[in-house]
Structure 1
Amino acid sequence: MLTNTDWIAEGKPWPPEDADEKARLEEHARNRQVYAGLHDAVMPRYAAYLSDQAKDSRKQPIILDWPALATGSYISLLLGEEPEVIAGDRKDLPERSDEQVFIDVSRYGLGIYEVSDSGIQALSPENCYLITTPGNIQRYQAIVFFATWKETTEKAGQKEVHEYVKFTIHSISKIQHVIYEIKDSKLSGPLKLGD
């Protein structure tokens, strides 16, 4: 469990070395694969067992993709049917972020909204770290969203690839944005937000 944001600093390892958060993110990745119907990747032993069906006529593989179906039914129960717009093609209707959050709740067990100046949007639990209170892990001190990307630069005819991570740290009455470069799996920075 992460109980502070001290891991967001110069020279700290990326991703943070926390067994609980690593296990949580791995579970999210497995749930995403099950939701996408990639059962062979998630359950290779069962897939191998079922694949020898040609040798054993008593085995009949049946894999049902119920997560997506159940999620669709779950959302319909929560939100009801989408309203029908009869007044022509409307491109200015707002997108509903709650549908994506409900899908994430069904898929991951956790759904997150980000409220900012630009509006309310759904963010993936796979791209966040929950900073809990040491005495009460159900109470969050902060939620840290992150996004990584790579940029290629050319210096003296040589191409260099730089990897960056942007953190958006939401704490009580404060939102902070910081960017670090990732060098040898360690954070380097913070960089100025205009760079």
Structure 2
Amino acid sequence: MTKSLRMRHRATWLSSCLLLGVTALQAHAADAASSPSLIPLPASYQATGGKDFVLAGSARAGGNDDAARRAAARFVQLLAQNGGPTLAVAESAGKAQIRFRLDPSATNTAEGYRLKVSNTGIDVSAGDDVGLFYGAVTAAQLLTGDVPGHAAAATIEDTPRFRWRGLMLDSARHFQSMDEIKKLLDAMAQHKLNTFHWHLTDDQGWRMEIKR
């Protein structure tokens, strides 16, 4: 093989590598643009192409019953904890921009929820309290994501893939304060984990107080 032919082969090979790299980057960018920064990712996310919802400081959260109002209050707390504004809780869902609704027909699975974003607000519906809470977590993540205070028009339908979603903490070998453990439980809830495995006893220690 002549030197000029080898150079042509090398140039072709380099061009192919560059083309593949650019294509992969474009595909990654397209995937990132089509789905929000949510942890964990929902089971289904569909962009609807409408106008974004823009959160105003005067916005309120509300619910259609006691369970939904509790979810609204939890959403307000999560939003503020993650850098968003502190919103008021409305007396009813009809007076709110972030609306929670307990509805047995919303989903056919336990812990599931449905969330819809439009330019007029965010609607979260679920068949149980847990689903409403997970919807509140997702709504707070949407409004404190890449563009704080903005949520793209979309419909989310989500349900846990696994019934048991746990984390184990070893307090027998490594000591943690109660404040640290409470913060861990809060972080678990915000990531939709539902089982806390607390390893309290082992050869190194017995961390349970025994009163006599």
- Pick the TM interval, shorter chain: under 0.3
In proportion to residue count, which structure has more strand?
A: 1
In proportion to residue count, which structure has more helix?
A: 2
Q: Bigger radius of gyration, 1 or 2?
A: 2
> TM-score scaled by structure 1?
0.26
> TM-score scaled by structure 2?
0.25
